[in-house]
Amino acid sequence: MSFNNDNLDDSFFSLSDSDGLSSNDSYHSIPSLSEILDSHFSDTLKNFNVVHINAQSIPAHYPDMLSSFYNENIHAILVSESWLEPCLPSTSYSLPGFHLIRNDRLGCAGGGVAIYLRSHIPYTVLNTSQPLSSAGPEHLFIEILFGHLKLLLGVFYSPNVTIDYFSSFEILLEQYSSLYNHTIVMGDFNTCLLKNYARASRLKSLVNGINLHILPHSATHAFPNCVPSLLDLILVSSIDHVAKHGQCNASAFSYHDLLYLCYKLKPPKAKQRILLRRNFSRMDLDKLREDTAKVDWSVVANAVDEQISIFNSILTQLYDIHAPIRTVRMKHLPAPCSLPT
């Protein structure tokens, strides 16, 4: 399959084509976004797996975020149109196992970009757009270390089709991409590469000039009663490191498809968490009752604080005998929150 940036049209094969249902499947339920991502990432355990979503408000679609992105093989979730504001704490929109890195838009509603990165992966914020208004493009670039290799990971968002972001974007890529072994940039560029017009030519030209590659997709944005357009893009520095990429419907969030990329870099392993826990499941209740009956409760003092202290001490001694503390190694990421159905 050719990756020539000058030939991006409807003829390109997209992995999202396999997501559709045939007539024989008409009686089957449509797979959820999480199930689709599970199938795409099931054989990419040793790769760095990234997705991009135009969320059109993380707060409004937070339950969808929780239900869609609990796959342990997803390492980074790049978000355009986060719609987060400084008054909204990150803890209110966290995803289990991820750290939320934000660049909110200030001064007006909407916009903003963000990255959910696996909490065990160290990173450094390199560059963010100035979040003053909706007058310009928005971006968030971070550095990730893979042993002795350095990755530039970025999310980019252009609020509309009239913004001339090309010069500033080119300067940004020139400033950083040459310093890194690998570069991955994903986002909503609001420049349709299915059209033969100046904006598309200019974007493809600047990407080629910096030795990056635009991965081929079919149309990624389908607004009702409008011609579908290719606005959401994946830029990479090495085609040889692309194990798999594609798109899938994400209508629960917006009219934009979700993009996914499996990149041949081995992500850092999560350090095992060691917890101290009591095992109550194997406790012999009959023996516990016997030992409790033998306790000399006469030592309990009159003062309430002393009573509580002595009672806790006795209870702890009983637990140490019948449910001793043991170390537990957490091998898996925490399960996502249960959502009401």
Sheet-wide strand order for 76-80: 98-103, 113-118, 76-80, 48-54, 258-263, 242-248
Question: Going by C-beta distance under 8 Å and a sequence separation of 6 or more, which residues neighbour residue 141?
Answer: 125, 126, 127, 128, 152, 153, 154, 172, 176
Between the alpha carbon of residue 119 and those of residues 123, 175, 199, 242, 282, the distances in Å are: 10, 27, 37, 24, 33
CATH match of 5-263 with 3.60.10.10: yes
DSSP character at residue 306: H
Report pLDDT for 34. Answer: 92
Mean pLDDT of 113-137: 88
Asked if 108 and 158 count as a contact pair (C-beta separation under 8 A), the reply is no
Quick check: 16 pLDDT over 50?
A: no
Task: Please write the tens of the pLDDT for every residue from 278-309.
Answer: 878 788 888 888 888 888 777 666 677 777 88
For the sheet with 138-146, list strands across it: 123-128, 138-146, 149-157, 182-188, 232-236, 213-214
Q: Please report the pLDDT score of residue 301 as a whole number.
A: 62
Q: Which is it for the CA torsion 104, 110, 113, 117, positive or negative?
A: positive
Longest dimension (CA), the chain: 90
pLDDT given at position 131 = 63
pLDDT score for 300: 62
Quote the percentage of the chain above a pLDDT of 90: 62
Is pLDDT at 6 greater than 80 in this prediction? no
Q: What is the pLDDT of residue 10?
A: 39
Of the listed ranges 2-16, 105-119, 180-194, 196-210, the least confidently predicted one is: 2-16
Ranges in the chain annotated CATH 3.60.10.10: 5-263
Rounded distance, CA 232 to CA 80, Å?
10
DSSP lists the bridge partners of residue 276 as: 327
C-alpha 328/C-alpha 292 separation (Å) is: 27
Encode pLDDT of 260-279 as tens digits: 999 999 988 777 666 777 87
pLDDT confidence of residue 201: 97
pLDDT by residue (tens digit) across 43-72?
888 999 999 999 999 999 999 999 999 888
| Phi/psi of residue 50, nearest 5 degrees | -130, 145
- The encoded tokens of residue 308 equal 């509580």
Model pLDDT, residue 28: 57
